[in-house]
Amino acid sequence: MARPKIALIGAGQIGGTLAHLAAIKELGDVVLFDIAEGTPQGKALDIAESGPSEGFDATLKGTNSYADIAGADVCIVTAGVPRKPGMSRDDLLGINLKVMKSVGEGIRDHAPNAFVICITNPLDAMVWALREFSGLPHEKVCGMAGVLDSARFRHFLAVEFGVSMRDVTAFVLGGHGDTMVPLARYSTVAGIPLPDLVSMGWTTQDKLDAIVQRTRDGGAEIVGLLKTGSAFYAPATSAIEMAEAYLKDQKRVLPCAAYVDGALGLKGMYVGVPTVIGAGGIEKVIDIKLTKDEQAMFDHSVNAVKGLVEACKGIDPSLA
């Protein structure tokens, strides 16, 4: 059987890391697309030349033509601009919306059967716009944010508790922004919920609150350190986890920006929710019950996402 085809739209920091990871994990043959001439070609050749040492046979091709993504099984979209220090994700809206239009049309025309994972910020609004421009089925278009946000939460918790990151699970809901909702009640160490760990004296409520806030600010912390762009290693790893769940029909339970119509009291919008990802794409949105306080935080986050979607409609009347 032919190897799956993975198209990476955007060959910048995340795109290049995605290509490297996809090749090392032998998820499929990789096509790197970018509007910058030479960048996707150079990165593809550089990574291909690591094949003999790494021991992979996947092929890599760099291109500036959408025709080369034809028939892709998975498209991961990072095209656009990242944040600089002092910018919020929402400041990227106008410029990245235009990028989503050309990318959505490119996917519509050349890879309409792909499972599409958007990473471009502001994430929840951009994945909505990308779906609108591409016209693909809602279950085949999603956004990567929850896997990254919960990985950051898990990392900070594992360090705080001095336990393996593998044994820490975390639950993050809502939009990918300052309003994201890390849920302590559903986050555990080997099944023991965080509030119980506070009672057991493993940590204090104050320390836990600080970790939740650090998780919310996780992207900005890295932007502040790098100064020239935003995080790319962990974002790429997170999207690869989602692509692998689709390609291998793993039925992984992963948080991502999915189209929610009915669950959690929402009507037809993209926002971060727990999902099941398998060969059907987003096969299920898990309809969890929230406490009053959690619901209030989630509603606040949902309203922030709705505001960004309305702003998109104001910028591009074809979306209204």
User: What pairs with residue 271 in β-bridges?
Assistant: 258
Size of the site for ligand A3D (CB under 6 A): 35
Minimum gap (Å) between residue 66 Cβ and ligand A3D = 9
Number of Cβ within 10 Å of residue 316's Cβ equals: 16
Q: Active-site positions?
A: 176
Burial class (CB in 10 A: 0-12, 13-18, 19+), 200: exposed
Only segment of 97-105, 155-163, 184-192, 279-287 that touches ligand A3D (CB under 6 A): 97-105
Q: Is 206 annotated as a binding residue?
A: no
Decide: is 99 part of the binding site for ligand A3D (CB under 6 A).
Answer: yes
Output helix, strand, coil percentages for the chain, rounded to the nearest 5.
50, 20, 30
Which residues in 275-309 are b (16+ Cβ under 10 Å) and which e? bbbbeebbebbeeeebeeebeebbbebbebbbebb
Alpha-carbon distance of 124 to 122, in angstroms, equals: 6
Minimum gap (Å) between residue 52 Cβ and ligand A3D = 27
Decide: is 175 part of the binding site for ligand A3D (CB under 6 A).
Answer: no
* The two three-digit tokens of residue 2, written as one number: 């032919």
Decide: is 78 part of the binding site for ligand A3D (CB under 6 A).
Answer: yes
- Out of 83, 131, 154, 155, the only residue in the binding site for ligand A3D (CB under 6 A) is 83
Decide: is 41 part of the binding site for ligand A3D (CB under 6 A).
Answer: no
CB-wise, 155 or 197, nearer to ligand A3D? 155
Single-letter amino acid, residue 204: T
Minimum gap (Å) between residue 65 Cβ and ligand A3D = 11
| Cα dihedral 266, 241, 252, 99 sign | positive
- Out of 137, 193, 229, 278, the only residue in the binding site for ligand A3D (CB under 6 A) is 229
- Out of 6, 7, 14, 220, the only residue in the binding site for ligand A3D (CB under 6 A) is 14
Alpha-carbon distance of 145 to 274, in angstroms, equals: 11
Binding residues for ligand A3D, rule: CB under 6 A, are 9-15, 34-36, 39, 78-83, 92, 96, 99, 102-103, 119-121, 123, 144-145, 148, 176, 229-232, 235
